[in-house]
Structure 1
Amino acid sequence: MRIFPVLLVCLALATCSSHLLLPQVTTPAQPGLRDLSSVQLIAVSASNDSQAPTERAALLTGLLRDGLSLRGYREGSPVQLRAYYWLGLRREPVELSTDLPPPGLLGPYQSVHRLQEEHATLHLRLTDLQDQVLWEGQVDTGLSPAWDSDEQLHKASNALLQQVPMAR
């Protein structure tokens, strides 16, 4: 009979960790974006990053550089566009019922340590050199469990970059 609650918890965790990524375009492509393809990536720092900021920033920079190049944008001069990007992080405590013993092998660990689930919103804004917004979008993703956060960030950046108009 103890296996049934454990299976329910595993099913709930699997459902939470594999949510659909729904990118939102907050500013549709403006006509000025049509003929621009040379881009400069600019990271906007996030002060609430739990990972070493340089690790996640380096990963995110690489993902966006590769993704934008697949869409026809290239880094170089003369710069025609600026691509501002940032990651807004949120942490939520994982609530466990105090009436029942914690599920799974981590039971004693979970009863002593406060577990948190991490979520993020990836923002990307393309502007001209006068900082007029030519396109902007965002996507929400989970970053928990920590061992899978890089893969989840990769999926989120791909989903967002699919919304960016192709360069000519």
Structure 2
Amino acid sequence: MRVFLVLLLCLGLATCASHIPQAQILSPADASLAGRHSFELIDPQHSLAGEPPFPERYRQLPQLLRHGLSSRGYHESQQPQLRLYYWLAVQDGPLTFRVDVPPPNALGPYQAIHRLRDETGTLRLRLTDLDQRVLWEGLISTGLSPARDSAELLERAAQVLIDQIPQATP
């Protein structure tokens, strides 16, 4: 009986454990990033076509980015040396499974009737100089989606991605 309770407790804890999103560096830090520490945030509304996928999260992002960059030694300025572009997007695609799979895989017949979709939210950050040269760029995929929208999930993803930006050097 005790073994069953311990196993049940372990299963419950594993279910509650938070997933740490994995950041992907698209453009590693350029050498000219060194010595630059002032930035300006570029409003993504200028580059978006249509309605943003997460309007409430877009309002949350500037403060998260400012706070995260300040912890890395950067500061916002009216005469910036860097521009920070940021985007939230949703990658949405169908999940396909073979429907003619025999038991014990019971998902096949279920998939024949129900169409499952994979929605993955992504946050992309790009640091450029004033001439639009990319000095650093990263992307993080999260469980964030229109169905599972969460301020905490976005905060965790933004922090993991910002931690990949090199510390500002004087």
Judge same fold: TM > 0.5, yes or no.
Answer: yes
CA contact (8 A) 2:121 2:145 kept: no
For residue 32 of structure 2, what is the aligned residue in structure 1?
32
CA contact (8 A) 1:43 1:86 kept: no
For residue 103 of structure 1, what is the aligned residue in structure 2?
none
Aligned-partner residue type, residue 60 of structure 1: L
Deviation sequence 1:96-125 (CA, Å, 0-9, x none): x7x78xxxxxxxxxx9xx997642111000
CA RMSD in angstroms comes to: 3.3
Between the aligned partners of 1:166 and 1:60, the Cα distance in structure 2 is: 20
Between the aligned partners of 2:90 and 2:27, the Cα distance in structure 1 is: 22
Q: Secondary structure of 2:158's partner?
A: helix
Task: List aligned pairs for 1:42-121, cutoff 5 A.
Answer: 42-45=42-45, 46=48, 47=50, 49-51=52-54, 53=55, 55-91=56-92, 118-121=119-122
CA contact (8 A) 1:117 1:145 kept: no
| Greater C-alpha Rg | 2
Between the aligned partners of 2:53 and 2:135, the Cα distance in structure 1 is: 31
For residue 163 of structure 1, what is the aligned residue in structure 2?
164
For residue 100 of structure 2, what is the aligned residue in structure 1?
none
For residue 150 of structure 1, what is the aligned residue in structure 2?
151
CA 1:67 to 1:121, structure 2 compared with 1: closer, same or farther past 3 Å? same
Between the aligned partners of 1:120 and 1:43, the Cα distance in structure 2 is: 19
CA 1:121 to 1:130, structure 2 compared with 1: closer, same or farther past 3 Å? same
Aligned-partner residue type, residue 35 of structure 2: D
CA 1:115 to 1:151, structure 2 compared with 1: closer, same or farther past 3 Å? farther
Between the aligned partners of 1:141 and 1:37, the Cα distance in structure 2 is: 28
Query: Identity of paired residues, percent?
Result: 45
**How many residues end up aligned between the 2 structures?**
143
For residue 3 of structure 2, what is the aligned residue in structure 1?
none
Between the aligned partners of 1:143 and 1:85, the Cα distance in structure 2 is: 16
Between the aligned partners of 1:67 and 1:124, the Cα distance in structure 2 is: 12
Show structure 2 runs of 5+ residues with no match.
1-7, 97-106
CA 1:68 to 1:79, structure 2 compared with 1: closer, same or farther past 3 Å? same
Q: Secondary structure of 1:139's partner?
A: strand
TM-score normalised per structure 1 = 0.70
Between the aligned partners of 2:58 and 2:20, the Cα distance in structure 1 is: 24
Show structure 1 runs of 5+ residues with no match.
1-6, 101-110
Between the aligned partners of 2:145 and 2:125, the Cα distance in structure 1 is: 22
Deviation sequence 1:6-37 (CA, Å, 0-9, x none): x9xx98xx59x954411011111111100000
Between the aligned partners of 2:165 and 2:152, the Cα distance in structure 1 is: 20
CA 1:147 to 1:24, structure 2 compared with 1: closer, same or farther past 3 Å? closer
Between the aligned partners of 1:30 and 1:127, the Cα distance in structure 2 is: 10
